[in-house]
Chains A and B, each alone.
Chain A
Amino acid sequence: MSQAQTTSDAPAPPASTVWTEETSWIDRMPRPVAMLLLLAAFLLTWQAVYGMELVSRIILPSPLETAEDLVVVGRNLLSGDYMLAALWVTTQEVLWGFLIAVALGFLLGVLVGETAFGERAVMPYLVAINTMPKVAFAPLFVSWLGFGIASKVALAAFIAFFPVIVGTAAGLHAADANARMLFRTMGASRWQTLVQLKLPAGMPHFFSGLKNAAVLVVVGAVVGEFLGGGKGFGELIRVAAAQLDTPRVFSLIIYLSLLGLATFWVVAFIQRRFVFWHKETVADGTLGQ
């Protein structure tokens, strides 16, 4: 700044050298705009494929037909008609299947993650079971448990329980070595270490297992209905497909995915309440990475 250092004939430095960083439009787009644009592009492509009859109109309905049927199904659901009853059946299967998968997965996960016996002896069998095509058990569940919701609950729980085991067991190994050493210096018992250190530290892993299970359990319930009959949403889809009522199939699938989303959101909500302390990257000096 001192005048003495600038020679008289040198050009004066510019008063301001503020400059802005360039960001591409694709990174600047606000989320609602981006999502709506993508949806519009999808619907336009769909309409174009329909309009040009690239696919037989019996197999692929137009977006408009599907939208109309969404309204029909929506009305039926709201008026408490047979579709609501079917949705309720599937919802029950999903809820029971989820609860059983979580309870069973958690207990087995603790056995595997906490004890050497579980890790050495139980885990290999669980991995073997997980590699089996679980859907193939559906006929067995039907013959054991009948055509009611029990066989669907069983299949849903069977398909969904493994991620809970993995999440729980991985979570129990998440507490770092210093934390364990600290608990030992405090004279903590194995039970105290499990309940006050390992389980809380493992919550983020446990919940990612739950989120996987929440998605899989809907798959299990619907596949169970496809293969084992019953009165659920899967049965409605099967019947509509058999009648080549494709707009109905599409709109039923969309409502069904709302059920999956709802389960997922409930888990995510509980996670935010209980694992409030966990951020994607936890600051140094604390636990739970």
Chain B
Amino acid sequence: MAASVAFDPATQARPRGRPVYELHGVSKTFTRRNVQALDKVDLLLTEGSFSAVIGPSGCGKSTLLKIMAGLLPPSEGSVVLEGKPVTGPRRDIGMMFQQATLFPWLTTIENIVLPIEIRDGKAAARAAYDKARSLLELVGLSGFERVYPNELSGGMAQRAAICRMLITEPAVLLLDEPFSALDELSRDFMNMEMQRICLERNATAFLVTHSIPEAVILSDVVHVMSARPGRFIESVAIDLPRPRTLDMMTGPRFGALVQRIRSHLDQGAFT
């Protein structure tokens, strides 16, 4: 874990905080199908930064995310979170998916404290109710504690999923296209909410997405990934000021950044 390992200069464009999550030369080959999904990925997430990875379908984004979540072992390279190697699921990793994946037999608040219940038991989960309530307040869902997920809208369900991800106070948030199942208006809104929540909590976040505008409006760095085997072609530093607003999406700087990322994807996507 030498600190002197050279990173892509672009990722170092904003050396804002101490390193939280470090990947060095991570490759993944699925030997059974003889498919190389990832090829020597280097990644550094600093505290309080928001990074995104974008790339064509099947470029290995999900594989990368699973490796980072400790759900899949890498074939090569090292994966280190908070100075400790990631060799399995950890409580300081928070994850969120395209589907809210709330459990319909639990109330909203029971869903939110579920990660605590799984790890520390029922008593600890009950003790976390106050914390869960303050998280619900953070995402604007106060008063929905006792409501079952079937009664929540798609956006509300994703807010509850955010609370469940935050309840264990993870060091890193892994976001797998979290809002792509929402309609566009809710999606823009939830992206702004996500920014607010991340800024408020100084969260370190890593987003996988198919949407270039979403990646640009949220991130400090956007890593563009090539098709199989997945590797980072370029890491684009996003120098738009914080906090970002939806109005920025019509500005020239935003357009230039989107254009730049798109040019890479156009080259790589169709072969």
Instruction: List chain A positions with a Cβ less than 8 A from chain B.
Output: 176, 178-179, 181-188, 192, 196-197, 200-201, 203, 275, 277-279, 282-288
Contacts and interface: CB of A to CB of B under 8 A. Distances in A.
23 contacts: A176-B99, A178-B97, A179-B101, A185-B70, A185-B89, A187-B88, A187-B89, A187-B118, A192-B118, A196-B114, A196-B118, A200-B105, A277-B148, A278-B104, A279-B150, A282-B104, A283-B150, A283-B154, A285-B99, A285-B152, A285-B158, A286-B101, A286-B150
B97 A187 contact: no
A285 B95 contact: no
Contacts of B93: 185
* Among A178, A186, A287: residue with most chain B CB under 10 A: A186
A85 B105 CA distance: 42
Contacts of A185: 69-71, 89, 93, 95
B100 to A, nearest CB: 4
A152 to B, nearest CB: 37
Given A178-B99, A277-B150, A186 B104 contact: no
Interface of B is mostly: loop
A209 to B, nearest CB: 18
A201 to B, nearest CB: 8
Contacts of B181: 284-285
**3 nearest A-B residue pairs (beta carbon):** A277-B104, A285-B100, A285-B157
* Among B100, B105, B157: residue with most chain A CB under 10 A: B105
Interface of B: 69-71, 88-91, 93, 95, 97-105, 114-115, 118-119, 148-150, 152, 154, 157-158, 181
Contacts of A183: 118
A186 B114 contact: yes
Given A278-B104, A286-B104, A184 B114 contact: no
Contacts of B95: 181-182, 185
A186 B99 contact: no
Contacts of B100: 285-286
A285 B71 contact: no
A98 B181 CA distance: 44
A289 to B, nearest CB: 10
A285 B149 contact: yes
B118 A188 contact: yes
Given A187-B90, A187-B91, A282 B150 contact: yes
Contact of A182 (B90, B101, B157): B101
Contacts of B98: 178
B101 to A, nearest CB: 5
Contacts of A179: 101, 103
Contact of B104 (A178, A182, A188, A288): A288
A192 B116 CA distance: 13
Contacts of A182: 95, 97, 101
A132 to B, nearest CB: 37
A60 B91 CA distance: 73
B90 A181 contact: no
A197 B154 contact: no
A217 to B, nearest CB: 27
A203 B88 CA distance: 30
A283 to B, nearest CB: 6
Nearest to B91: A187
Nearest to B95: A185
Given A186-B115, A285-B154, A286-B104, 7 more contacts: A176-B101, A178-B98, A181-B95, A184-B89, A185-B69, A185-B71, A196-B118
A201 B98 CA distance: 19
Contacts of A282: 104, 150
Contact of A286 (B90, B91, B102, B118): B102
Contacts of B104: 277-278, 282, 286-288
Contacts of A277: 104-105, 148-150
A197 B103 contact: yes
A254 B245 CA distance: 71
A285 B101 contact: yes
Contacts of A201: 103
A148 B148 CA distance: 49
Contacts of A186: 89, 91, 114-115, 118-119
Contacts of B105: 200, 203, 275, 277, 288
A286 to B, nearest CB: 5
